[in-house]
C-alpha cells in the first residue's frame, strides 16, 4: 500500500515537473501551484541568458513587427513587448500583430506568454488609437470626484485593451498637479490632492484588474513638481524627502496597500534626498530602501523608456543605464526601440552576470518576480486572451457600454469656473441660443466646431493658429456679440487677449489643463473640461446652454 502511494506521488511530481538535466520546472504554464512556487521552479531551470531575457521589454517602429523584434522573441524569449502610438493606427492589424508575437513566445522552451504593455491612460495619452474610445481622462475623474468613475474608466479602457490582446497598461498616472507650468503632466493627473489621487488611482487599478489587465502606476516617485520633460533632460526636483513622503509618495503608499502589481520608475532627480543626483529610476535608495522597505511595495518595477535622455545621459550609455537600473531594483528594463541581438546593451549585461555575482543574483531575482506576475495574471479565467479574436473587434471597439459611461463622466466633470448663475453678479452661463446674438466660435479642434455649430447653428467659425496673426481675428470678432473661445495651451492666449479691448461677451471653453484661465480674469465666463474627446466638447456646450448641470470642481 505504501509503495503504491509512493508511486502515485512520483507520477504526480513527474507530471508537475519536467525533469531535464537535473532541473525542475513546470511542464505547462497552466500547471497547478502558487505563482510564487511555479516562478521559483521555472527561474531555477533557466540559464542566465534566459533569465536576463525575461527582464527585457522592447518596442519596435512601424505597424508591422520588425524582423528584429521577431528575433528577440523567437531566439531570446524576452519577457515583454511595448506597444507605442506608431504601432496602433489600424487596430485590427495591431491585434493580428499581438497574436503572431504571442504565438512565437508561447512556442518557446517554457511556453511563456509575453507581457504586452501600452500607455492607455485615458484623455490626452492614448497610444492605442484606431477604434478605441477617446475618454475624458484623469483630471475629469478628479473633477467629478467619484471613485466609481475611476473604477469604470479603468475597467472600460481595460476591456478594450483586452480585446486587442494587450494585458498590461501603464496606468494609472498618479503624478500630482503640483507644478502648474508642467506641460508633461497637466490633465494626466487626477489633481493636486495626494490622498484623492491615491484613492482614485486605487479605484482605477481595481477596474483594470477586473478587466484582466495588469495596472502599472507611474511615474514613481512623482513627475508633477517640474515643468521639464524627462524624455529630453533629467529634471531636478528640489523637494525634500519629508515633502515627498507627505505629498508625491502618498498615492504609492495607498496603492501598495491595495496590492498594486506593477509600477514604473521615473527618470527624475531629487538632489535634496539621499539619492542626490542619481535618477530615481537608477537609485537603490528610492527603489529598495523607500519603495520596498519603507512603503512595503511587493509588485514588479519597470523602468520608463531607458532610451530617454533623463536616464542615459546620467549613466553615460544605454548599457550602463540598463545595468544600473537592474542593480537598483527594477525588474524590467523597457526600451522603445529594438536593439540588434548582439547590441552592447545585451552583451554587456550577459558579461556582467558572468563576472559579478551580485548582479547575477539581482537579475535572477528580477526574473523570478516577472515570472510570478505572469503566473498570477496571465492565466486563469480572467486572463487577457493571448490570441485576440478578430471577429469580435467590430463589436468590442469601442466598447458600447463604455461609450455611454464616458459621456456621463464628461457631463459630471464639466466645471463652470466663472460666470455661472450661482454667485455671479451678471451670469452669462447658461447662455440660451436666443440670448447669444451673433456667435463666433474660435478654436483648434474639429469637434469643437462641430459641437459648437450644433449648439449655436448660426455661429461663425475662426480656426486660429501660430501662422495667423491676431489682427484678422479681432476684425472678425468685432462683428460678433458673443465669442466662445477654445483654450488648450499658451499658444491661444495672444488671440484671446485680442478680444479684451473689444468689450464683447467672451466665454472661454478650457480643454486639458485649466491653468491658462488665470491669464484672462477679464473674461465674462469660463468652463473647464479636461480632454479634447468629442464627449467632452458635447458636455461643455450642453453646460453652456444650460441643458445639464455642471457639477465638476477644479481638481
Average pLDDT, the chain: 93
Q: Which has the closest alpha carbon to 83: 201, 138, 165?
A: 165
Give one DSSP letter per residue of 29-97, joined into a string: TT-SS-HHHHHHHHHHHS-HHHHHHTTEEE--SSSSPPHHHHHIIIII--SEEEE-GGG-SSHHHHHHH
CA 92, CA 45: separation in Å to the nearest integer?
A: 37
Residue 452: the pLDDT is 98
Residues ≥6 apart with Cβ < 8 Å to 14: none
**Contact in structure between 546 and 430 (CB atoms under 8 Å):** yes
Is residue 170 predicted with pLDDT exceeding 50?
yes
**Per the residue annotation, which of 119, 175, 304, 524 is the catalytic one?**
304
CA 260, CA 98: separation in Å to the nearest integer?
A: 25
CA 367, CA 277: separation in Å to the nearest integer?
A: 28
**Per the residue annotation, which of 231, 289, 343, 489 is the catalytic one?**
231
**pLDDT digits 0-9 by tens, 115-147:** 999 999 999 999 999 999 999 999 999 999 999
What confidence category does residue 10 fall into, taking pLDDT thresholds of 50, 70 and 90?
Answer: very low
HEC states along 446-498? HHHHHHHHHHCCCCEEEECCCCCCHHHHHHHHCCCCEEEEEECCHHHHHHHHC
Is residue 7 predicted with pLDDT exceeding 90?
no
Q: Find the range with the poorest average confidence among 247-251, 380-384, 522-526.
A: 380-384
CA 124, CA 186: separation in Å to the nearest integer?
A: 10
- State the cell numbers at 384: 487577457
Phi, psi of 387 (to 5 degrees): -110, 110
Q: Find the range with the poorest average confidence among 47-51, 226-230, 278-282.
A: 226-230
Average pLDDT over residues 431-441: 97
Residue 87: the pLDDT is 87
**pLDDT digits 0-9 by tens, 252-310:** 999 999 999 999 999 999 999 999 999 999 999 999 999 999 999 999 999 999 998 77
Residues ≥6 apart with Cβ < 8 Å to 99: 165, 386, 387, 388
Sign of CA dihedral 71, 73, 78, 81: positive
> Count of residues for the chain?
555
Residue 424: the pLDDT is 57
What confidence category does residue 183 fall into, taking pLDDT thresholds of 50, 70 and 90?
Answer: confident
**pLDDT digits 0-9 by tens, 444-453:** 999 999 999 9
304 catalytic per annotation: yes
**pLDDT digits 0-9 by tens, 70-88:** 999 999 999 999 999 988 8
Amino acid at each position: 500500500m505504501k509503495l503504491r502511494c509512493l508511486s502515485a506521488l512520483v507520477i504526480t511530481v513527474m507530471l508537475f515537473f519536467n525533469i531535464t538535466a537535473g532541473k525542475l520546472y513546470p511542464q505547462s504554464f497552466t500547471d497547478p501551484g502558487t505563482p510564487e512556487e511555479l516562478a521559483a521552479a521555472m527561474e531555477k531551470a533557466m540559464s542566465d541568458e534566459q533569465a536576463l531575457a525575461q527582464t527585457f521589454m522592447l518596442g519596435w517602429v512601424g505597424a508591422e513587427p520588425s524582423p528584429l523584434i521577431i528575433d528577440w522573441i523567437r531566439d531570446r524569449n524576452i519577457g515583454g513587448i511595448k506597444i507605442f502610438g506608431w504601432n496602433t493606427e489600424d487596430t485590427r492589424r495591431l491585434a493580428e500583430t499581438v497574436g503572431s508575437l504571442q504565438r512565437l513566445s508561447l512556442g518557446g522552451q517554457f511556453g511563456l506568454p509575453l507581457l504586452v504593455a501600452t500607455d492607455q491612460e485615458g484623455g490626452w495619452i492614448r497610444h492605442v488609437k484606431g477604434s478605441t474610445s477617446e475618454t475624458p481622462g484623469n483630471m475629469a475623474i478628479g473633477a467629478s470626484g467619484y471613485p466609481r468613475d475611476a473604477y469604470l474608466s479603468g475597467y472600460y479602457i481595460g476591456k478594450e485593451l483586452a480585446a486587442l490582446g494587450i494585458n498590461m497598461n501603464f496606468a494609472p498616472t498618479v503624478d500630482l498637479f503640483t507644478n502648474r507650468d508642467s506641460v508633461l503632466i497637466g490633465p494626466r493627473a487626477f489633481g493636486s490632492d495626494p490622498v484623492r489621487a491615491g484613492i482614485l488611482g486605487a479605484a482605477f487599478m481595481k477596474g483594470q484588474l477586473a478587466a484582466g489587465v495588469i495596472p502599472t502606476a507611474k511615474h514613481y516617485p512623482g513627475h508633477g513638481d517640474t515643468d521639464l520633460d524627462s524624455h529630453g533632460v533629467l529634471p531636478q526636483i528640489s523637494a525634500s524627502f519629508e515633502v515627498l513622503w507627505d505629498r508625491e509618495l502618498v498615492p504609492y503608499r495607498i496603492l501598495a496597500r491595495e496590492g498594486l502589481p506593477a509600477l514604473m520608475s521615473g527618470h527624475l532627480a531629487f538632489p535634496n534626498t539621499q539619492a542626490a543626483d542619481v535618477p530615481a529610476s537608477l537609485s537603490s535608495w528610492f527603489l529598495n530602501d523607500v519603495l520596498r522597505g519603507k512603503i512595503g511595495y511587493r509588485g514588479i518595477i519597470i523602468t520608463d523608456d531607458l532610451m530617454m535622455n533623463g536616464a542615459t545621459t546620467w549613466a553615460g550609455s544605454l548599457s550602463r543605464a540598463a545595468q544600473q537600473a537592474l542593480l537598483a531594483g527594477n525588474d524590467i528594463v523597457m526600451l522603445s526601440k529594438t536593439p540588434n541581438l548582439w547590441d552592447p546593451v545585451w552583451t554587456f549585461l550577459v558579461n556582467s552576470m558572468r563576472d559579478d555575482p551580485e548582479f547575477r543574483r539581482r537579475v535572477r531575482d528580477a526574473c523570478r518576480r516577472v515570472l510570478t506576475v505572469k503566473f498570477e495574471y496571465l492565466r486563469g479565467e480572467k486572463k487577457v486572451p493571448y490570441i485576440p479574436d478578430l471577429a469580435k473587434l467590430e463589436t468590442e471597439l469601442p466598447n458600447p457600454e463604455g461609450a455611454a459611461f464616458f459621456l456621463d463622466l464628461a457631463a459630471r466633470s464639466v466645471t463652470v469656473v466663472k460666470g455661472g448663475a450661482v454667485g455671479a453678479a451678471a451670469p452669462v452661463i447658461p447662455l440660451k441660443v436666443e440670448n447669444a446674438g451673433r456667435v463666433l466660435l474660435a478654436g483648434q479642434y474639429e469637434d469643437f466646431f462641430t459641437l459648437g455649430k450644433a449648439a449655436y447653428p448660426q455661429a461663425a467659425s475662426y480656426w486660429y493658429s501660430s501662422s495667423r496673426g491676431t489682427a484678422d481675428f479681432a476684425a472678425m470678432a468685432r462683428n460678433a456679440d458673443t465669442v466662445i473661445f477654445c483654450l488648450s495651451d499658451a499658444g491661444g492666449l495672444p488671440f484671446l487677449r485680442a478680444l479684451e479691448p473689444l468689450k464683447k461677451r467672451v466665454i472661454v471653453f478650457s480643454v486639458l489643463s485649466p491653468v491658462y484661465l488665470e491669464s484672462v480674469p477679464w473674461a465674462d465666463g469660463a468652463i473647464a473640461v479636461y480632454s479634447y474627446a468629442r464627449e467632452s466638447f458635447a458636455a461643455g456646450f450642453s453646460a453652456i446652454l444650460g441643458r445639464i448641470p455642471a457639477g465638476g470642481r477644479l481638481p
